[in-house]
Amino acid sequence: MDNSELVPVINIGLNTGRYNFDYAMEELKALSEANNMTVVETIVQNLSQPIAGTYFGTGKVEELRDVVVDTGAEVVVANDELTPSQIRNLEKIVKVPVMDRTGLILAIFANRAQSREAKLQVELAKLQYQMPRLHTAMNQRLDQQTGTSAGGGFTNRGAGEAQIELSRRTVQRQINHVRHELKDVNKSAAVKRQQRERVQLPNVALIGYTNAGKSTIMNELIKRYGMNEDKQVTVKNMLFATLDTSVRQLQFDDSKKLLLSDTVGFVSQLPTTLVEAFKSTLYEAANADLLVQVVDYSSPNRVDMMSTTKQTLNEIGVPDLPMITVYNKADLTDNPYPSRAGDEIVISANDSKSIDLLVDVIREKVFKNYVDATFLIPFADGDVVSYLNDHATVKSTDYVEAGTKIEAEVTDIDYQRFGKYVTE
């Protein structure tokens, strides 16, 4: 996109010393760019806590006002979630719209949502974000209409409070309606998950910070082993390029199969409303047999990114599942690749040998419970033969007088399931 089409914005942040501030501001810049904005200036201040009325101190707010004029910025974006009064007061001074971090992320999600489920989840998060802000927003309009003098203000304020309550009930009805629609969508998604689970295939979920390369890795695996190569996922060099969890079935050369999920990326300080809304989207991660955490190895903030991933998994209730860590984008560093140290590997998703290593590690983890067995299956039970041909690694097949003799590598579950056919 041409820079002339991007909205010029000023990013502002308050360094309170409670977290990695530089990392948070870099992330805010990336989030702004993901929302079709270009950051023309960044203004920060060191304070132990935000100023209640204006976020920044008086002098810094005046500096911000002057920079808005000098740069022609059209929006101010704050690194924290602001109170409605802070937004209102800042807008009065700087004369341009002010957006906080939560509002920015919600805007990105609203633009990216493609599926009905994602759109409903974003709408629910937006409504929940607006609910506690109704009182201040309504009072602001009331003040503009009637003034704040003591004379007739009290009576008008009473009318305003009634209007606020009416608006709150309207928003609550909208929230209830969206939740009801989401239940219907989730039922449909649950049916699809149950169908996949009945097949009893291992589930591998790609997780991690947004824009770490999960979708690129998934597409490389689909190219090699996908059951339908044209079902590749969206890849863009931006935060939150896609919000929908994509599930694809892979089949390896030895006929072993698994389900691979590409989940929505994480980001630090993800709004609580979005974490709650997207729990169902992250179902695949919560029920995976193996988590593959993808990390941008070229980023100086990768440790913070991994911390964000761990925190988000805890927030959405993902249990302590088996996990391997994939340090991707090694081609942008001076480190050798591909390489492995235990459950950690260093790769480049664009490198063939790297994908080979990743596949080897995934197979080692998810197929570790496979056992070798010889089955003698009566000709009348041809459905068992068909099942083994579709779901097991068949090494040999012989037809003898008593039936079909198959040597195969199967899961321990299938070994127990067809135990009566196992020969010594």
* Contact by Cβ (8 Å): 94, 64: yes
* Contact by Cβ (8 Å): 76, 97: yes
Residue 330 is assigned to a ligand binding site: yes
Residue 105 resides in a domain: no
Report how far residue 203's alpha carbon sits from residue 258's, in angstroms, rounded to the nearest whole number: 6
* pLDDT tens digits for range 376-401: 999 999 999 999 988 888 889 999 99
Residue 130 resides in a domain: yes
The per-residue pLDDT for 350 is 93
Q: Is the pLDDT of residue 16 over 50?
A: yes
Q: Are residues 126 and 84 in the same domain?
A: no
Q: What CATH number is given to the structural domain containing 58? A: 3.40.50.11060
The per-residue pLDDT for 108 is 85
Q: Is the pLDDT of residue 185 over 80?
A: no
* pLDDT tens digits for range 70-83: 999 999 999 999 98
Q: Report which DSSP code applies to 51.
A: B
Query: What mean pLDDT, rounded, does the chain reach?
Result: 84
The per-residue pLDDT for 373 is 94
Residue 264 is assigned to a ligand binding site: yes
pLDDT more than 90, % of the chain: 46
Nearest CA to 128 out of 165, 164, 178, 91 is that of 178
Tokens, residue 107: 């805007």
Residue 212 is assigned to a ligand binding site: yes
Residue 211 is assigned to a ligand binding site: yes
Residue 215 is assigned to a ligand binding site: yes
* Contact by Cβ (8 Å): 43, 64: yes
Residue 107 resides in a domain: no
The per-residue pLDDT for 147 is 47
Q: Are residues 346 and 249 in the same domain?
A: yes
- What H or E segment, with its residue span, contains residue 404? strand 403-411
Tokens, residue 76: 């101010």
Residue 78 is assigned to a ligand binding site: no
> Is residue 63 classed as helix, strand or coil in its secondary structure?
helix
Least-confidence region, from 138-142, 210-214, 244-248: 138-142
Q: Is the pLDDT of residue 188 over 70?
A: no
Q: Considering 200, 224, 250, which residue would you say is the last residue of a domain?
A: 200
Q: Which residue has the higher pLDDT, 3 or 49?
A: 49
Tokens, residue 161: 């409070």
Residue 231 is assigned to a ligand binding site: no
Q: Considering 351, 367, 383, which residue would you say is the last residue of a domain?
A: 367
Residue 241 is assigned to a ligand binding site: yes
Range picked from 61-65, 107-111, 163-167, 245-249 for highest mean pLDDT: 61-65
The per-residue pLDDT for 322 is 92
Q: Are residues 278 and 407 in the same domain?
A: no
- What H or E segment, with its residue span, contains residue 32? helix 21-34
Residue 189 is assigned to a ligand binding site: no
Q: Is the pLDDT of residue 264 over 90?
A: no
* Contact by Cβ (8 Å): 290, 204: yes
Q: Is the pLDDT of residue 244 over 70?
A: no
Residue 398 is assigned to a ligand binding site: no
Residue 106 resides in a domain: no
Residue 380 is assigned to a ligand binding site: no
Residue 331 is assigned to a ligand binding site: yes
Q: Are residues 284 and 355 in the same domain?
A: yes
Residue 372 is assigned to a ligand binding site: no
Q: Are residues 72 and 217 in the same domain?
A: no
Domain ranges, residue 195? 114-140+160-200
Residue 214 is assigned to a ligand binding site: yes
Per-residue pLDDT band for 284 (boundaries 50, 70, 90) equals low
Residue 278 is assigned to a ligand binding site: no
* pLDDT tens digits for range 216-230: 999 999 999 987 655
Residue 353 is assigned to a ligand binding site: no
Whole-Å CA distances, 182 to 106, 116, 177, 187: 18, 9, 9, 8
Q: Are residues 322 and 337 in the same domain?
A: yes
Number of domains in the chain: 4
The per-residue pLDDT for 243 is 57
Q: Is the pLDDT of residue 199 over 70?
A: no
The per-residue pLDDT for 283 is 63
pLDDT more than 70, % of the chain: 81
Residue 2 is assigned to a ligand binding site: no
The per-residue pLDDT for 128 is 85
Q: Are residues 167 and 213 in the same domain?
A: no
Torsions phi, psi of 307, nearest 5? -65, -40
